Chains A and B, each alone.
Chain A
């Protein structure tokens, strides 16, 4: 008891121990370079495909805005959760964060996505707002009337036979304009995203 007590007293009386005890601080912990921080621009050209906005899980975290001549994604730090999905989803490699791009290149991983449209026929009033608002429909059939009726069967959806029919689900780009245009929340767009791993081509 006495020996251990005197040991401690002697140890603590040493100048070096006292100095360490009072003044030494651990070195500030640096953020490692592989940390998946907010996505940054790599300088490659954005094609405005909006895959980043489509895959982003958080409301209002990423927006593709027009700057001078080109489009560029903009990250909002108060919203972004740094999941890195936009970096992975971008087909052009416009964004970078941590070592996502490198690991994606070495492991040949990527994403494919399709969109699944569902219409609740008990809520749907057959107003055709969705078919008129849809930007893909506008390209396929500019003549699509205000009631969503028409003769062109190349459109994604239109009112046909007194009912809203989904004709070409595979053409959907997932912009959700139809959801916003629907007064009754009858149409829903679901993303079906699959992670893919290819042996030959780079992700």
Chain B
């Protein structure tokens, strides 16, 4: 491993920038994402920062069952995120549509059809610890030695 790569690994393990996007959820999962920020779960102590700007994000948290309005927009948000990037589906909605996935409903789950999803956190809503564990366990898999894996 090159020296530059080891510096990048250290920095990336201590500073994961998270952006979240609600593609038609009931807001329950968004509240759990916000609870992660609050002092009780406190994700910033693990070096995870929520900026909600895709251009400086590493991790995209997707909540919601994908309404038709997001058809082109979610893809463009995903394209704006610089590499290395990863998307995590939060809650049942982006996985299966949950209670909204009924006949005649204007939702188009799963979100994995539209952007590549690396991890799914089931639950309606998932516990903040479950979201936190997903981000923490996925980040080293994706960001560690990213450049070396590419070449």
Taking a contact as CB atoms under 8 Å apart, the answer to whether B122 and A80 are in contact is yes
Q: Does B98 contact A (CB under 8 A)?
A: yes
Given A25-B45, A29-B129: A82 in contact with B124 (beta carbons within 8 A): yes
Which residues of chain A from 72 to 124 have a CB within 8 Å of any chain B CB?
Answer: 76-82
In residues 22-74 of chain A, which contact B (Cβ within 8 Å)? 25-26, 28-29, 31, 35, 57-60
A79 near B96 (CB under 8 angstroms)?
yes
B107 to chain A minimum Cβ distance, whole angstroms, is 12
Tally of A interface residues using CB under 8 Å = 17
Question: Is A26's CB under 8 angstroms from B42's CB?
Answer: yes
Q: Please state if B99 and A57 are interface contacts (CB–CB under 8 Å).
A: yes
CA gap between A19 and B46 in the complex, in Å:
16
A76 cross-chain contacts in B, Cβ below 8 A: 96
Which residues in A have their C-beta under 8 angstroms from that of B145? none
Q: Mark B68-98, 1 if CB is under 8 A from A, else 0.
A: 0000000000000000000000001001111
Option from B41, B45, B46, B98 in Cβ contact (under 8 Å) with A58: B98
CB within 8 Å for A26 and B45 given contacts A31-B129, A58-B98, A59-B101: yes
Of B46, B92, B124, the contact of A25 (CB 8 Å cutoff): B46
Given A78-B122, A79-B92, A82-B124, the answer on whether A59 and B46 have CB atoms closer than 8 Å is no
* Interface residue? B120 (CB, 8 A): yes
Asked if A60 and B45 sit within 8 Å, CB to CB, the answer is no
In this complex, the member of A35, A76, A78, A81 whose beta carbon has the largest number of chain B beta carbons within 10 angstroms is: A78
Q: For the complex, what is the distance from the CA of A60 to the CA of B122, rounded to whole Å?
A: 14
Contacts of B12 in A (CB 8 A): none
B interface, how many residues as a size bin? 20 to 34
**Quick check: A60 and B129 within 8 Å, CB to CB?**
no
Q: How far is the CB of A195 from chain B (nearest CB, A)?
A: 20
State the Cβ distance, A190 to closest chain B Cβ, in Å: 15
Known: A57-B99, A59-B99. A77 touches B127 (CB 8 A): no
Closest to B99 in A: A58
Within 8 A of A (CB), among B89-132: 92, 95-99, 101-102, 120, 122-124, 127-129
Residues of A within 8 A of B128 (CB): 29
Beta-carbon nearest neighbor of A79 in chain B: B96
A58 to B97, CA, bound (A): 10
The distance in angstroms between the C-alpha atoms of A59 and B96, with both chains bound, is 9
Show the binding face of A for B, using Cβ within 8 Å: 25-26, 28-29, 31, 35, 57-60, 76-82
Closest 3 CB pairs between A and B?
A81-B124, A78-B95, A77-B122
> Using a CB–CB distance below 8 Å, which chain B residues touch chain A?
40-42, 45-46, 92, 95-99, 101-102, 120, 122-124, 127-129
